[in-house]
């Protein structure tokens, strides 16, 4: 007999995981919300929406790895967040965990002599890499 997954989870769990995200963002250095928005290829207002417990909009499961990476969740915060996320959205994490594992590489870039310009160049390469992965994923799913 096939396992059935409930279509809806606990709405209070959605509020709880958003509270965890908001708390994490509130204690991170300024600019973290913008870095997260850039890494996700979204506007900063999107980050405000996904971090606001008053908005019922769920966080897409495909954004979770980026969220944990950019925001530097502690192990405890990540476990608690994922527990609430699973309660709010049964079955969604399984879809993400079935994707190919990612690996990190290092790219050497010139020092532009300006911290702001260096950060912009690094962000450009990060965004480009994420978009390339999405393109590869899309083309593999269509074949």
DSSP characters over 65-95: HHHHHHHT--HHHHHHHHHHHHHHSTTHHHH
Together in a domain, 65 and 29? yes
* 85: containing domain: 7-99
98 vs 46: CA distance, rounded Å: 26
What is the CA angle 90-94-99, rounded to 5? 150
Under 8 Å between Cβ of 55 and 17: no
Query: What is the pLDDT at residue 6?
Result: 46
Taking only Cα atoms into account, the Rg of the chain, rounded to an integer number of angstroms, comes to 17
What's 18's domain CATH number?
A: 1.10.260
126 vs 118: CA distance, rounded Å: 12
Together in a domain, 84 and 25? yes
Whether residue 140 lies inside any domain: the answer is yes
Whether residue 42 lies inside any domain: the answer is yes
Query: What is the pLDDT at residue 1?
Result: 40
Q: Show the low-confidence residues of the chain (pLDDT under 50).
A: 1-6, 97-98
Q: How many domains does the chain have?
A: 2
- Report yes or no on whether pTM surpasses 0.85: no
Whether residue 88 lies inside any domain: the answer is yes
Together in a domain, 36 and 92? yes
Together in a domain, 74 and 121? no
Query: What is the pLDDT at residue 130?
Result: 77
Query: What is the pLDDT at residue 49?
Result: 94
Together in a domain, 86 and 132? no
The contacts of residue 65 (CB under 8 Å, 6+ apart) are: 96, 102
Query: What is the pLDDT at residue 76?
Result: 94
Together in a domain, 87 and 75? yes
Burial label, 58 (beta-carbon count in 10 A; 0-12, 13-18, 19+): middle
């Amino acid at each position: 007999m096939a396992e059935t997954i409930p279509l809806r989870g606990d709405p209070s769990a959605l509020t709880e995981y958003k509270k965890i995200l908001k708390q994490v963002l509130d204690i991170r250095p300024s600019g973290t919300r913008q870095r997260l928005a850039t890494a996700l290829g979204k506007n900063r207002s999107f980050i405000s929406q996904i971090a606001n417990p008053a908005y019922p909009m769920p966080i897409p499961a495909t954004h979770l790895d980026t969220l944990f990476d950019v925001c530097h969740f502690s192990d405890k915060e990540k476990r608690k967040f994922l527990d609430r996320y699973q309660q709010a959205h049964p079955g969604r994490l399984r879809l993400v965990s079935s994707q190919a594992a990612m690996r990190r590489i290092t790219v050497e870039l010139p020092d532009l002599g300006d911290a702001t310009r260096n950060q912009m160049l690094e962000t450009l390469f990060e965004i480009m890499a994420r978009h390339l992965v999405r393109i590869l994923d899309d083309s593999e799913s269509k074949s």
